[in-house]
Amino acid sequence: MPSARDWALTLLLRGQKADLFPDRMLWELYEKHPDIPSLDRAFIQQLLFGVYRWRAKIDWALEKCAHAPLKKLSFQTLSILRLGAFQLLLLDRVPASAAVNESVKLAKSGPEPWTGGLINGTLRALSRIQESLAFPTPDDLPGYLTITQSHPAWLANYWLDTLGPKETVSLCEADNQIPPLDLRVNTLKGSREELYPRLEREVGPMSPTPFSPVGLRFLRPQAPLHASGPYREGLYQIQDEASQLIAYLLHPRPGERVLDLCAGVGGKTTHLAQFLENRGSVLAVDSNPRKVRDLWKNALRLGIKNIRFRTGDFLQPDFFQKNQPAFDRILVDAPCSGWGVIRRHPDLKWRIRLEDSDRLAEQQIKFLQKAAEYLKPKGTLVYSTCTLCPIENEEVIGGSWPGTPNSSWIRWPLICRDRQGG
């Protein structure tokens, strides 16, 4: 069986080649190889996400030791160096000798065995100087944000311009914290109080989420949450607390008709269905067939029977028939740049571009305009994103799209701004 380091390298290479997201790659890996031990799984995830999270900091340190510019190295060799450097710089429990020697093994067993000497020399040099490395401090704010806190310069500068230094520093530091793991209790099958003791025995210590009344939070689960008995029985759904709060804003009532656009794998969709108590209906729409299949499987596991599934492009003129009935509640959980979930998805730092937000905002406005056509009089529409970009938030709501003549926007107080789900 390949080692955890082998798997982490494989996923880094696969992610680069096919532009895949790390959480999806991990899920597929564990589905395909269920025999990977739990300790190895934890280490694979730590290595993979650690390299994404601290990439700029790692590369800055490697540049001090490498005999060749990093940009001239193959991605295979650079990835092995990043894995080794991450262990040296940021994992106290990994001996330096293991970080170096195992990295050399990765090189010698791969397609570029001749790079073993370069990797050995570079990582040994880093091991010797790591204690004396002077990473930029907050006194050098651009360096601190881009190197020490490992954020792209354009993003750090944008936040400095729009949020100011204090909030930007707090935000970048928060992005690099290990996120907790939240779940939402399936109230169709039981209560939080009923699930708590059983889950504590099977998975480990937890606490109620501070805002969601149906959430539980694990800081360090001792077993995979998606493999527990209660999960298989449909007693809960893994979902960030911030995401759970959206259903409380829309707050559908039993018997109502709900439209969920851009439903994805259905965290919010299934929560909305819980509010309906299997009465009324939720129409879940997404353009990605794989996500709709995953949503169907989730609903089946949770015992939810009132979701209808639709794959397709909602913005197409013929998506609905002319006599399509209106909806009591509509959720526009729009595609966005994801700046607010970098803590959970650190690879986003290196994917997103500011110009993406202009394109996304145009699409978000189109979703809102068309969704409003199918909202009943006195109905409720919730617009939600997981980004901190004002181009996609404040400038869309009340700016680029002020709403319909007979509607008004209600701004939700930011009572939990310091507890963002990402």
Residues belonging to the active site: 386
Give the burial string for 368-401 (b: 16+ CB within 10 Å, else e): bebbbebbeeebbbbbbbbbbbebbbebbbeeeb
CA-nearest of 101, 133, 134, 180 to 343 is 180
∠ at Cα 317 (315, 318), nearest 5°?
115
- Contact criterion met (CB below 8 Å) for 280 and 336: no
* DSSP classification of residue 339: G
CA-nearest of 252, 188, 253, 175 to 214 is 188
In angstroms, the CA 386 to CA 337 distance is 8
In angstroms, the CA 207 to CA 219 distance is 9
Contacts of 66 (CB under 8 A, 6+ apart): 73, 81, 118, 122
